[in-house]
Structure 1
């Protein structure tokens, strides 16, 4: 029998390999998602230290020398050193860059006026703007914490707003996270008007991470009490 007459098996076409898209982070509960997003937003312990050290350096240098330019240079130098460490370690420099940007803006204000207290003015103005936006979002029933939660669901980032229970939870948590900024402004504004550079520096550090930590602990307590199930994506 001729081999030419034999049936030749037909090979199926080779299908190209397609890599499935990486799924978004998934959480069992809404509370877990909110906790995770808050942790990212504040940069953890290291991000907090990187934000506080330049301010401490500026305040101490001003107390010791009363030289505005020198104090700003030392503060900026510390921030630059922290940034270099981040680059060498190939880790995210986001929070150091935020600190450097704040120092740069503060230096511009202070050097322009010649008043050391003006180094704190941009930060206070920024907090005031953020606080206004945060409170507005709550009053119009689109609490900002909901958008942080929506970031965990890129396919439908506004899905959280269709659930009244989640909106209520995000509103409660949002009010808690508004308090640190209000407390900070309440203390810093009179100190700024009085030109109290030393106490401005103390207030910025003391009412920074410690107060936010207390707010986060309160949020954690609120979130720990509930277990709102995350709706599965269709």
Structure 2
């Protein structure tokens, strides 16, 4: 090697390293973008957050003005139905279309049957508390709920439990974040339900509708963006099926190739010489 070759070799090595770094950066950026898109899709996006908050806002606003539980409950339920129908017309998923409708419907029925406007918010509050406990308990058990929910979204199913410990740790941290944030929200709302009035409870619940959700999604995005990429088990299964089909085709071809030779040997009364 001459002295003229060495600088070129160094430049080539440096260019290859820069290319690898650029590819790794692009891969990380793509992974973060995919994580962000999957999270917003799984939790309904900003639109879903707004749709779960606006019916409660309508209820508390009308109840504050009219002091009529039936009028406020029917108006909130009607708005929720309109939002759900708009989701269906836009060919959105049934989960996003009806989850808010069912929650508002339960609250409206509770409030009208009991005659207590605070009961409009009770089903949602109980759901929030139960979800907080589920996040924490499943994290302690080694089955973080967020991983169970998001595994199919990222096409990894439950592979993160045994094959991707980095993602399991990220799902555990994110589940703890969701659990603690929802517990804090419940710690604010339930005292108001017991000792406050319906108007106070309604306005505080509206204010605590979107911010905790955004914080939880943001923390989840941070944890998952720093975690290893998911293992695409669907792609693995497709590759395994394709490999099995190719192997079966090769075996059949080999058998077909051997048949003429065998027929020729039988025609000559012995093996070919």
TM-score range, shorter chain: 0.7 to 0.9
Deviation at 1:128, TM superposition (A): 1.8
Contact preservation (8 Å) 1:102, 1:123 = yes
Which runs of 5 or more structure 1 residues have no equivalent in the other structure? 1-26
TM-score by length of 2: 0.67
Deviation at 1:85, TM superposition (A): 2.6
Deviation at 1:108, TM superposition (A): 1.9
Q: Which has the higher helix share?
A: 2
RMSD: 2.5
**Structural mapping, 1:32-51, within 5 Å:** 34-51=35-52
Contact preservation (8 Å) 1:117, 1:196 = yes
The 2-side partners of 1:94 and 1:40 are apart by 11
Contact preservation (8 Å) 1:79, 1:96 = no
Count of residues in Structure 1 that have an aligned counterpart in Structure 2: 206
CA-to-aligned-CA distance 1:82-102 (integer Å, 9 cap, x gap): 233334333335334222211
Deviation at 1:75, TM superposition (A): 0.8
Contact preservation (8 Å) 2:42, 2:150 = no
**Structure possessing the higher relative contact order (Cα contacts under 8 Å, 6 or more residues apart):** 1
Q: Given the superposition, is the C-alpha separation of residues 41 and 196 from structure 1 closer, same or farther in structure 2, using an over 3 Å criterion?
A: farther
Contact preservation (8 Å) 1:30, 1:227 = no
Larger radius of gyration: 2
- The aligned residue for residue 161 of structure 1 is 161
The 2-side partners of 1:32 and 1:90 are apart by 23
The 1-side partners of 2:179 and 2:50 are apart by 21
- The aligned residue for residue 21 of structure 1 is none
Higher alpha-carbon deviation: 85-94 or 188-197: 85-94
TM-score by length of 1: 0.77
The 1-side partners of 2:154 and 2:36 are apart by 15
